Amino acid sequence: MDTTIYVARRIAAQAEMDDEGLIDRLASILVRTELRKGAMFLEEGQVCTQLGYVYRGMVRQFYYKNKRDLTEHFACEDAVFICIESFLRQQPTRLMVEVLENTVIYGIPHDPLLALCAEDYDMEVLYRRLLENSLILSQHKADFFRFETANERYARLLREQPEIVRRAPLSHIASYLLMTPETLSRVRANVQL
């Protein structure tokens, strides 16, 4: 099977859609990018022009606050990621996307996507559902930071996204969980008992 069609099918599945015509149209606009570990997919001040799908590898979205590097989100294989405000408004972002492993990303470019949405209701539904999924993911993260202890946040990450715990540097995991590396070490020691 053509990799681009496979990726389009996986993206459509995340929006609970399986129409072959839709999948073909989506595949026609996908842009493949291969990046090496440590490369930046998106820099602060750039405009997010693509909704990203991780075919292979791992990325993280992060920003700087008070000279501290804070991880907002991780995405591994079969995950979609987006800097929502920058993508929707086509304005510069404060978020950055860093490649944590050698990675292959398939991007859905903004302008071709909107052009397809203007002529294809199913494409508009797919786009809306992908945005909804991203917003729900952000809401869940905000909720678990508001209502859960450090131990509970780590246990949730371990349960729901074990690949992040296995593959991401501990410093990035700590910042994602809003902990110092020392607190994360204590939490991990408690979990391993």
Domain locations in the chain?
3-147, 149-193
Q: Are 80 and 53 in contact (CB under 8 A)?
A: yes
Task: Give the global pTM.
Answer: 0.92
Q: Are 54 and 39 in contact (CB under 8 A)?
A: no
Q: Are 94 and 104 in contact (CB under 8 A)?
A: no
Please report, in tens digits, the pLDDT of each residue of the chain (193 residues total): 699 999 999 999 999 999 999 999 999 999 999 999 999 999 999 999 999 999 999 999 999 999 899 999 999 999 999 999 999 999 999 999 999 999 999 999 999 999 999 999 999 999 999 999 999 999 988 988 889 999 999 999 999 999 999 999 999 999 999 999 999 999 998 875 4
CATH topology for 3-147? Jelly Rolls (2.60.120)
Q: How far apart are CA 98 and CA 95, in angstroms?
A: 10
Sheet containing 96-99: give its strands across.
40-42, 96-99, 58-65, 68-76
